Structure formats: structure tokens, C-alpha cells
Structure 1
Amino acid sequence: MKPADVFLAVLVAVIWGLAFVASRIALDEFSPTLMTTLRFAIAAVPCLFVRKPDVSWPLLIAISFTLFLGQFLAQAYGIAQGVPVGLTSVIVQSQALFTIGFAAALFGERPTPMQTAGIGIATVGLLMICGTVGYDFSLSAFAIIMICPISFAIGNLLLRRAQNVRMFDLFAWLCLVAAVPLFALTLATDGPGPTWHALSHMSLTGLVCMILLGGVSTSIAYWLWGRLLRDYPAAQVVPFALLVPFVGSAASSLVFHETFGSLRLAGMVTVIGGIAVMLLAKRPQILPKIA
């Protein structure tokens, strides 16, 4: 990779890591549904200037509801219910485990021995993290946050079907498709009055957090990531995502003084190690179809 593109890959990972901190700060001011709505409403602004990509509406909705709406709404609710930000950043990246598992089950993509080992290592790490549930957040909060990597993984597989389209245009329209039902959900759960009050009394901190989440983390960062995946093999780009949980955990420790017990820290490191093994392994083989 060119040095400039290496810098961009690292920059995207840093932005995504800091976004977890921005989400936690924004949730002090907004409800999970309103924060997620604002995130995608801001990221959908480019739809005013770009055409809808040549992707069917059913596919566009399916990708948006899994890759964006399901993942980030669950993430917001999980953080709001007490799941630490640093731990959240690790759990979200476990999507690599579920992506490989779902690809094997649905498309016959047999994991390589290295990927199988990585899945086993990451699974052990998640089980270690499960052992810490109940100390500072509930089992229900953990169940909600686990929706993130599962939804993320399904969205990854659906995204494969949207080929030969401009990534910036696609992500903008995915954000719009997510923002519309999220706005309706916000009005239904929060009520029109509280929603308007939160918007009209938005603080400067809340505004900055939402611009970071919507304009920078979602719109710009996803576009840069898509461009890198277009220009380079995935094996060169995807490992940079391993920086996200390190940035998220470090930033959470500095901003929120988040601490990790020995078991949780070991589990987080084990998950990241398993993901590293999976991402650095060779691509899976396609199982031959049986007549």
C-alpha cells in the first residue's frame, strides 16, 4: 500500500475507535433511538447530490437494516444500558467470527485451518468476557450488544451482492434508508414532545458528537474504507480494523477512566488475537456442490 493510503487506513480505524466515545457522550443527551436517527440523518445528506445506486430496493433495505440500523441501534442501547465503551469496541469487531461462520453455513465457504483456529480463539475470548457479565452491566445489556456483530456480519454478506456501484453513493443511500424508520421509531418510543425538546435544546457538545458520528465516522470514514477496499486486496486493508478496539479501549480509559479486570482484559485480548488470526489467514475454500 502507498504510504498515504496506509495513513488513511489508520485514520479510519482511529475515527471508528473514537466514535465509541462520542456515542457514550451523546447518550447523556439523546435517547438511543434519537442518537442513531441523527447519526444516519446527517450521514444521508449527500443523497441530495448523488443518485440512488443501481441496487434493488429490497437489497438496499436489507443491507441498511443489518449493516447500519440493526448494528448501531443495538450498540446505542447496549452502551446506554451500561456496557463499557472499550468492551463494546471489542465485541463489535467480533463480527469477523460471525461473518466467516455465516459464510460457511450459507455459501459453503469452508474456513481454512488458520481461520478455524482464529474462530476457536475468539470464541474462548467471548466466553471469558461472558464470565464478567453481571459485575458492572446486566446479562440483558450483553445480549443486546451481541446483536451488533451478528447484524454486522449479515450486512457484510448482503453487501457482497451490491457490486459495481460507487461506495460513497451506496453508503449515503443506506444511511437514508436507515434514518427514515429510525425517525418513526423515535417518535413512537420517545414521543414528539421529548424529541423536539432534545433537538431544540441540543448542546454544543451534543452537536459536535453527532457531526463526528454522522458526518465523519459514518459518511467520510465508510467512504474512505470502501475506496481502500476497491483499490487494494481485502487482506491488506481489513487487518487495520484491528486497531479500532485498541483505540476505543484506550480512549475510554482516558475519558471515562474505564478499567478492565484481569479476566475481562484477558478475554478482550484473546478476542482480538483470534480476530487477527482470522483476518491474516488465507481466503476460505468454496465447497464443491454435490449433485
Structure 2
Amino acid sequence: MPLKDVLAATLVMVLWGVNFVVIDWGLQGVPPLLFVALRFSVVLLALPFVARPAAPLRHVLLVGAAMSLGQFGLLYTALAFGMPPGLASLVLQLQAVVTVVVAALVLAERPALLQWAGVGLGLVGLGVVALGRGGAVPLVALVLCVGAAVSWATGNVLVRRLKVPGGLGLTVWSALVVPVPLFVLSLVIDGPAVVGHALAHLSLAAWLSTAYTAVLASLVGYGIWNRLLERHPASEVAPFTLLVPPVGIAAAWLVAGERLTPAALVGGALLVAGVVLVTLGPRVLARRRAGRSRPMSAPEVRTVAERP
């Protein structure tokens, strides 16, 4: 991959990692579900300029219900309930582990042994994070964040099951299913008075956060990401997502002074190691098998023959 594309992928990871801190910053004074509705209302402004994915609209909306509405509705609520943004960026990566399990159950896919090892390691890491989260992290916030990861994983499996193309088109068109349901749900949960007051008194932080999450994290981020996937194999591009938790944790430390407990750091390291096995393990095995089955050249044959 050329250096400019490596830098572009790294830029996207920085945008996505910082995204957690920006969301937490803008949530002050705004109900979380209403805030998600505002974000995706801005995303929908790009609808006339982005081609619809080559799939039935109902399939696109079904994916959006899990990947956009469910994931971000739960994530924003988790942050509102006290989930630290750095820890949230880490726990959300559980989606890669859950995707393997859900795909095995729903799509009858057969994960490699290394992937099952990654699932086990990731779950152990999550358990360590839960036990060592410290008193500052409410259990309900952690559960909601795990729910966001499960919702994201469900969306991943739906993309495969329904054969919906990913990328920027899916991000924009799936947003159709987000604003109205979450706005209505916010009215029911928070009450018309709270929602009306929040809309009438949106702070500069809320507007800037919405602009960042909708324009930079969603449109610019997925726009660059989609181009990279068009130019390079997914196996070269996807591993960059492992940079999101370190960026998120670093941003939360620099901006908000967030410090993870030692147990949370250990659990997070185990979780990320599990994600590495799930993501990269099968590719490493495939390359080794391909290398073994590759016919040997004349010098290689001679070298093997000369071995004692």
C-alpha cells in the first residue's frame, strides 16, 4: 500500500478514535437519543449526492436499524450513563468477536480454530474489564456499550446475509431509519419539555460535535475508507481499525484526563488480542498454506535436497 494511502487510513482511524471524546463532549444537556437523531439528520443531507446501494431499500434499512440506529442509540446512551469515552472505544471493538459468533449461528460459517481462540480471549478480556472497571463506570453503562457492539455485529452479519454493499452509500441511505424513530423515542423517554428545551438551547459544543460526527466521522471517514477498499484488498485495509482503541484512549486521556484502571488495561489488551486473532489469524494461516503449496523453484529444490 502506498504511503499516501497508509496515511489516509491512519487519518480515518484518528477521526474515528477521537469521535468518542467528541460525542461525550457534545452530550452535555442533550438527551442521547435526540443527539443521535440530530447526527443522522445531518448525514441525510448528503442523500441526493450519494448513490443508493445496489440492494432492496428494505434490506438497507434493516441493516441501518442494527448498524446505525441500534449501535449509536446504545453507544450514546452508554456515554450519557457514565461510560468513559476511551473505555467505550475499546469495548466497542468486541463487535469483531461477536460477529464471528453470530455469523456461525446465523450463516453457518465455520470459524477457524484461531478465530475461536480469539473469541474466547476477547470474552475473557471483557470479563476482566467488567470486574476491573472501577467505581466510576456504572455497570449499566458497560452493558449498554456491549449492546452497541452486539448491534454493530448484527449489522455486519445482515450485510453478509442480505448482500448489501457497504461503504459510504450504506452509511448515508441507512440513516433514513434513524432520525424519526429516535426522535419519537426521545419524546417518550425524556418528555416533550426536555426535548423542546434541548432543541431550543443547543450549545456550541453540541453543534460542533454533531458537525464532527456527521461530516468528519461519517461522511469523510467512510468516503476515504470506501476508496481505500476499492484500491486495496480488505486484508490490507481492515487491520487499521485496530488503531481506533489506542487513539480513543489517548484522546480521552489528553482531553478529559481519563485514566483506565490497571485491570481495565489488562482486560482491554486481552480483548484487542482476541480481535487480532479473529481479524488476522485466518489470513496468516492462509498465507502459510499458500506458501507450502507453492511449487518450488529450481534453487529452492536444490536447497531442500542439500539439507542433511
The reply to whether TM is greater than 0.5 is yes
TM-score scaled by length of structure 2: 0.86
For 1:184, the equivalent position in structure 2 comes to: 184
Q: Displacement, 1:9? A: 1.0
Structure 2 residue runs without a partner (length 5+): 287-308
Matched, 1:227 2:238: no
Matched, 1:243 2:215: no
Q: Displacement, 1:152? A: 0.5
Task: Mark the CA change 1:129 to 1:167 in structure 2 (over 3 Å): closer, same or farther.
Answer: closer
For 1:36, the equivalent position in structure 2 comes to: 36
- Matching of residues 67-78 of structure 1 within 5 Å: 67-78=67-78
Identity %: 35
Q: Is the 8 A contact 1:46 1:172 kept in 2?
A: yes
Amino acid in structure 2 at the alignment position of 1:187: L
For 1:197, the equivalent position in structure 2 comes to: 197
Amino acid in structure 2 at the alignment position of 1:223: G
What whole-Å deviation, never above 9, does each CA across 1:152-177 have from its counterpart, x for those lacking one?
Answer: 11101112256585833332111122
Q: Is the 8 A contact 1:61 1:174 kept in 2?
A: yes
- Matching of residues 152-191 of structure 1 within 5 Å: 152-161=152-161, 163=163, 167-191=167-191
Q: Is the 8 A contact 1:18 1:248 kept in 2?
A: yes
What whole-Å deviation, never above 9, does each CA across 1:44-69 have from its counterpart, x for those lacking one?
Answer: 11113345434223312210011111
Task: Mark the CA change 1:41 to 1:245 in structure 2 (over 3 Å): closer, same or farther.
Answer: same
For 2:132, the equivalent position in structure 1 comes to: 132
CA distance in 2, matches of 1:45, 1:64: 16
What whole-Å deviation, never above 9, does each CA across 1:203-244 have from its counterpart, x for those lacking one?
Answer: 222211110011111222123223322332221111100100
Q: Which has the higher mean CA deviation after the structures are superposed, 102-111 or 241-250?
A: 102-111
For 1:49, the equivalent position in structure 2 comes to: 49
For 2:257, the equivalent position in structure 1 comes to: 257
For 1:114, the equivalent position in structure 2 comes to: 114
Matched, 1:84 2:105: no
Matched, 1:100 2:100: yes
Q: Is the 8 A contact 2:125 2:268 kept in 1?
A: yes
CA distance in 1, matches of 2:276, 2:51: 37
Amino acid in structure 2 at the alignment position of 1:179: P
Q: Is the 8 A contact 1:171 1:223 kept in 2?
A: no
Structure 1 residue runs without a partner (length 5+): 286-291
For 2:277, the equivalent position in structure 1 comes to: 277
Amino acid in structure 2 at the alignment position of 1:21: V
Q: Which has the higher mean CA deviation after the structures are superposed, 264-273 or 179-188?
A: 179-188
For 1:289, the equivalent position in structure 2 comes to: none
Q: Which has the higher mean CA deviation after the structures are superposed, 96-105 or 193-202?
A: 193-202
For 1:7, the equivalent position in structure 2 comes to: 7
* Cα RMSD after superposing both structures: 2.1
What whole-Å deviation, never above 9, does each CA across 1:59-100 have from its counterpart, x for those lacking one?
Answer: 122100111110111111111111111111011111110011
CA distance in 1, matches of 2:139, 2:170: 36
CA distance in 1, matches of 2:254, 2:169: 36
Q: Is the 8 A contact 1:103 1:109 kept in 2?
A: yes
What whole-Å deviation, never above 9, does each CA across 1:253-291 have from its counterpart, x for those lacking one?
Answer: 111111122111111111112211221112699xxxxxx
Q: Displacement, 1:116? A: 2.0
Q: Is the 8 A contact 2:33 2:73 kept in 1?
A: yes
Give the secondary-structure state (helix, strand or coil) at the position aligned to 1:282.
helix
Q: Is the 8 A contact 1:99 1:153 kept in 2?
A: yes
Q: Is the 8 A contact 1:47 1:176 kept in 2?
A: no
Structure number with bigger Rg: 2
Q: Displacement, 1:117? A: 2.0
TM-score scaled by length of structure 1: 0.91
Amino acid in structure 2 at the alignment position of 1:281: G
Give the secondary-structure state (helix, strand or coil) at the position aligned to 2:282.
coil
Q: Is the 8 A contact 1:122 1:272 kept in 2?
A: yes
Amino acid in structure 1 at the alignment position of 2:248: G
